[in-house]
Amino acid sequence: MHLFDFPDRLSPMLVKELRQGMRTKAFVGVFLALQIILGVILLSAGAAASSDDAGSTISNIIFIFFSIAVLIIQPMRGITSLSSEVKGNTIDMMVLTRLSAWRIVTGKWASIVSQSALLLVTIIPYLILRYFFGGMNLIGEIVFLAVLFLSSAALTAVTVGLSASSSVILRSVLPMIALPIGAYSLLMALMFGAFGGGSMSTFFSLATDESRIFTSVYLAACTYYGFFMLSTGTSLIAPYAENHSTLRRLISLAVAITAAVLGSMSFTDADALPFFMTVVLLPVFAISLSEFAPLAAPTYRKFAKHGAPGQLAGLFLFPGWASGFFFCLVLTAIAAVPFLVNRPSYGGNDSFIYGLACLAGLLFPAVIINLFRVNGPQRVSNYVLLLLASIVLSTVLSGITSSLSNEDLLWLFCWLPPVLMFLEEAGGNSDEVLVASFVMCAIYIGTLLLRAVHSYRKSIIEIRAHSDTE
């Protein structure tokens, strides 16, 4: 019997990480612990449970422990994926081997996901055992298992992408807090049957329109956010000459147009529209408004050779936060369409206030990092931390003013965008809150516009001057 090595067509980074990862104590420990725990508990549960509920008990045990393994432990292994390479100064050596930054990042991500896939394969015998207890919703449990696995892949992309950040809070502390909380919420929903009022297998059986729409949208969101997080990690370690912004923005443009079309349909809830569009725009705003790589001459020439159309496209697709801001203005215009088309029948201002507040919330961190002239990779981490800080601070202020029974004090902090939402929820004058939301958006857009025009013109002049001297 001959043992063959990995085929040459696989990425060298993937092969390297797989060989190292499958030998680590973390993976071996998770693998063995999962098998031992499932084997012992399933046999005990099968013997102790009545014939009516034995099947559901076994299903819950399988999915609970599989969720812990792939939603918490496996994604946490990505926390040090890129930071260890950055600290060891090995990124440049990898680039010299003709590995692009994208292949380095995706190789590390694919390695962890492949190990999660191995854990997925090992629980199949337990699902076969569960089948003989009867009452198994085969489609529902298979779909839910696939949802858990793809959720793990998306969470792994988040931790791998953030691992390139220079902020310890962003790459380590935040995932270590958020992952257990998120997994706990999912497990509580699983144990108490919070999926549409029934069990998870019933909800994910794809038998209803609600099930099919939710599953499709959720998987699309996992793919969308996973790509953006891997792209963020790539931008943080890539040389300035590599242009990852153009493809990223074109993909986000297609997604934004699709979301705007869906948001304009009559079945879309006007109250949920602001949050739906914010989920779509959040990753592209966060990355585009915090880009730190300067415009490289080769990238400029690729657009400039197409004349005026190329120059116009470059205004929105060039790397850098200035063109990123112009691109975000285009996305804002697209996102405004469903708000105008799908207006609430009762004529309220809630959807407009929440929409403007969400837009201001995405712009606020960019205003701060540009006013304080934050440069380098710290722009990305500072943007995310400022966004989270504004939400937390606004929540605290809302709680304090509510305990004092004086919500009018919130007007002193209306420059914090989430406060505008709390003002609306507190039952204040809706028209006043709407005007305040519009004013804050106008101030933030005007501030960023002035700085973006100056930064964009400066970069173009420098590249043209350098080209003339060559």
pLDDT in tens, 13-35: 777 777 777 777 877 888 888 88
Q: Which of 237, 243, 250, 238 is nearest to 284 (CA)?
A: 250
What pLDDT band is residue 1 in, cutting at 50, 70 and 90? very low
**What's the confidence (pLDDT) of residue 467?**
65
pLDDT value at 98 more than 80 = no
CA distances from 218 to 141, 190, 221, 425 (A): 16, 17, 5, 28
Contacts of 1 (CB under 8 A, 6+ apart): none
**What's the confidence (pLDDT) of residue 255?**
94
What is the distance between the alpha carbons of residues 232 and 238, in angstroms, rounded to a whole number?
10
pLDDT value at 446 more than 60 = yes
Instruction: Identify the burial level of 396 via C-beta atoms within 10 angstroms of its C-beta, where 0-12 means exposed, 13-18 middle and 19 or more buried.
Output: exposed
For 48, the 3-state DSSP assignment is: helix
With a pLDDT cut of 70, the percent of the chain lying above it is: 85
Q: Determine which of 91-95, 104-108, 324-328, 429-433 has the lowest per-residue pLDDT on average.
A: 91-95
Q: Which of 201, 189, 342, 210 is nearest to 263 (CA)?
A: 342
**C-alpha 9: how far from chain center:** 30
pLDDT value at 285 more than 80 = yes
Q: Which of 250, 223, 386 is nearest to 331 (CA)?
A: 250
What is the distance between the alpha carbons of residues 192 and 64, in angstroms, rounded to a whole number?
12
pLDDT value at 438 more than 90 = yes
Tell me the whole-structure pTM to 2 decimals: 0.87
Contacts of 285 (CB under 8 A, 6+ apart): 328, 331, 362, 363, 366
Taking residues 303-310, report their average pLDDT: 89
Mean pLDDT, the chain, whole residue set: 83
**What's the confidence (pLDDT) of residue 346?**
46
Contacts of 62 (CB under 8 A, 6+ apart): 38, 42, 123, 126, 127, 130
pLDDT, tens digit, 9 for 90 and up, residues 274-284: 888 999 999 99
Contacts of 83 (CB under 8 A, 6+ apart): 163, 164, 165, 171
